């Protein structure tokens, strides 16, 4: 059996350096966002009022609920959350429908070919989303390539308005996030034991039935990982709705950006972030436990 390594002196150091960094720059900032979300916007630098005030030997804590109340009063915010969730959900399902067969095909290819396919899938994930989305702007615009091609073969008479609509956002999101669905699914599917399928077919199941009854249930953790890697970031996506979407596109990432950069209302932007985080807490937790279980299995 494997002995546990004992590194008494270094152990604390090895853990504490990354621990401190992540605590300081990842966890602590959320506490500050929470704090600012309860403060009052002000015309100042920075543009909010302090929550803790110490005057006349008394510490007053002013928790301003106004930002959260404001979010409920303007229907724009509710619509933006709903819009983000809808786009993220549909995009996740489309990515799953496309990505599962892709991952399945890669996992069953010969070993050398698998590596090449993986490279082809991975390459775009390392390329700026900005550039890949920009590529679609040229294709989808009303005098762009897609419309020219459709017009020249006589399929349409007038150019279709695709850019700056939700259709363009769906195309962009699926395009940008498809590789993130394929990779974890592949990592799962490639470990499957082919003999299980053989056993199922020997026992009289059709190949399709064997696929649904054996392969799909076994790939559950891959499906969860892939879906969460698509769904969660898409909910907060900013670049795609900004560049491909139009006035009808309401997504919370874009609204937050505008509150922060255009209106300079930091407290409302913070409240928007906190509510988004609360919505995403369940999917994030699901993702985390799924990952931890996979890691545990490996160790």
Partner 1 sequence: MRRPDFSSVVLWLGLVFIYLPMIILVIYSFNASRLVTVWGGWSMHWYVGLLDNSQLMSAVKRSLQIAFYTATAAVALGTLAAFAMSRFQRFRGRTLFSGMVTAPLVMPEVITGLSLLLLFVALAQILESLFGVLFDRGMLTIWIAHTTFSVAYVVIVVSSRLGELDQSIEEAALDLGAPPWKTFLQITVPMIAPSILAGWLLAFTLSLDDLVLASFVSGPGSTTLPMEIFSAVRLGVKPEINAVASVILFAVSLLTLLIWFIARRADKRSRMLPPDDELAG
139 binds partner 1 (CB under 8 A): yes
Taking alpha carbons only, the member of 267, 264, 262, 235 closest to residue 251 is: 235
Could you say whether residue 149 binds partner 1 (CB under 8 A)? no
For partner 1, the binding residue among 63, 65, 86, 134 (CB under 8 A) is 134
Q: Which two tokens stand for residue 191?
A: 């470990």
Region binding partner 1 by CB under 8 A among candidate stretches 71-79, 150-158, 198-206, 269-277: 269-277
Kindly determine how many residues on this chain lie close enough to bind partner 1 according to the rule CB under 8 A.
100
The smaller minimum CB distance to partner 1, of residues 65 and 115, is found at: 115
Q: Measured in Å, how far apart are the chain's first and last C-alpha atoms?
A: 13
Structure-token match 């874009």, residue found: 254
Q: Which two tokens stand for residue 210?
A: 């064997």
Stretch near partner 1 under the rule CB under 8 A, chosen from 56-64, 68-76, 150-158, 239-247? 239-247
What Å distances lie between residue 142 and 147, 163, 240, 241, 255, CA to CA? 6, 7, 18, 17, 26
> Strands (DSSP E) along the chain, which ranges?
52-55, 58-61
| Shortest distance in whole angstroms from residue 116 CB to partner 1 | 9
Q: Which of 222, 226, 236, 245 binds partner 1 (CB under 8 A)?
A: 236
Tokens representing 283 are 């999917």
Is residue 239 a contact point for partner 1 (CB under 8 A)? yes
Site for partner 1 in 103-132 (CB under 8 A): 104-106, 108, 115, 117, 119-124, 126-132
Site for partner 1 in 211-230 (CB under 8 A): 228-229
Q: Which of residues 16-55 bind partner 1 (CB under 8 A)?
A: 17-19, 21-23, 25-30, 32-33, 36, 46
| Residue 27 to residues 21, 22, 24, 268, 270, Cα–Cα distance (Å) | 9, 7, 6, 20, 15
Given a contact cutoff of 8 angstroms between Cβ atoms, the answer to whether 242 and 178 are in contact is no
């Amino acid at each position: 059996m494997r002995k546990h390594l004992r590194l008494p002196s270094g152990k604390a150091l090895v853990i504490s350096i990354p621990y401190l960094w992540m605590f300081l720059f990842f966890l602590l900032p959320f506490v500050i966002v929470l704090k600012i979300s309860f403060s009052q916007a002000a015309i100042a630098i920075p543009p909010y009022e302090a929550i803790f005030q110490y005057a006349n030997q008394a510490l007053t804590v002013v928790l301003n609920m106004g930002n959260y109340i404001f979010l409920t009063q303007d229907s724009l915010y509710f619509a933006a959350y709903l819009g983000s969730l809808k786009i993220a959900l549909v995009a996740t399902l489309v990515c799953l429908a496309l990505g599962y067969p892709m991952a399945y095909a890669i996992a069953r290819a010969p070993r050398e070919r698998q590596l090449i396919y993986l490279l082809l899938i991975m390459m775009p994930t390392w390329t700026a989303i900005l550039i890949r989305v920009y590529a679609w702007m040229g294709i989808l615009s009303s005098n762009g390539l897609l419309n020219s091609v459709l017009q020249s073969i006589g399929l349409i008479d007038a150019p279709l308005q695709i850019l700056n609509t939700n259709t363009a956002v769906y195309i962009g999101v699926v395009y940008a996030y498809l590789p993130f669905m394929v990779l974890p699914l592949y990592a799962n599917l490639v470990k499957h034991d082919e003999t299980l399928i053989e056993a199922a077919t020997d026992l009289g199941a059709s190949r399709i039935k064997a696929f649904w009854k054996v392969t799909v249930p076994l790939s559950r953790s891959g499906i969860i990982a892939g879906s969460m890697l698509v769904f969660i970031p898409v909910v907060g996506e900013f670049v795609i709705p900004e560049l491909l979407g139009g006035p009808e596109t309401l997504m919370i990432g874009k609204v937050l950006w505008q509150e922060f950069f255009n209106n300079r209302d930091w407290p409302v932007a913070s409240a928007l972030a906190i509510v988004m985080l609360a919505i995403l807490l369940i999917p994030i937790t699901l993702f985390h436990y799924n990952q931890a279980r996979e890691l545990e299995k490996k160790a």
